[in-house]
Amino acid sequence: MMNLEKICEEIIQSDADILMVAMSYRTDFHYRERAGTKSLQTKEAIEKSLADASLRWVTRRSHRTLGEPLYAMAKYEKVKRITVPLGRYGIILCTILPDSDAEKIALKLIKTAKKYSD
């Protein structure tokens, strides 16, 4: 079984612009916010965001002619959000500062996800 707490900690320490990281793998769920940051969502809202992101990821995987999806990014007024698959059965959802280099952080997330993927 994956140690989601350990992976969340590794990710949040990988870049100062990461505000929150949440992940689900099969039925497990864990999230970690950067110390000293104001939470923008409740635990329940984070869990719902993960569930929604997982459903969207299934849709992205159905577009095989484009190749395998690597990550998705959305920009909101207050943050950017990056989604990366964690193996076949998991997802990583990462909230970063709005002016962050999302591509750079996404590449770090992909590398970490590959390290722990099944």
Count of C-beta atoms within a 10 Å radius of residue 52:
12
Q: Which residues contact 18 (CB under 8 A, 6 or more apart)?
A: 11, 12, 34, 94, 95, 96, 105
CATH number of 4-116: 3.30.450.30
What are the extents of the domains in the chain?
Answer: 4-116
Note whether 19 and 81 are within 8 A (CB): no
- Which tens digits make up the pLDDT trace of 71-110? 999 999 999 999 999 988 899 999 999 999 999 999 999 9
Task: Flag whether pLDDT at 21 surpasses 70.
Answer: yes
- Which tens digits make up the pLDDT trace of 48-78? 999 999 888 888 877 778 888 899 999 999 9
pTM of the model: 0.91
Residue 9: name the closest of 107, 92, 102, 80 by CA: 92
Note whether 71 and 109 are within 8 A (CB): yes
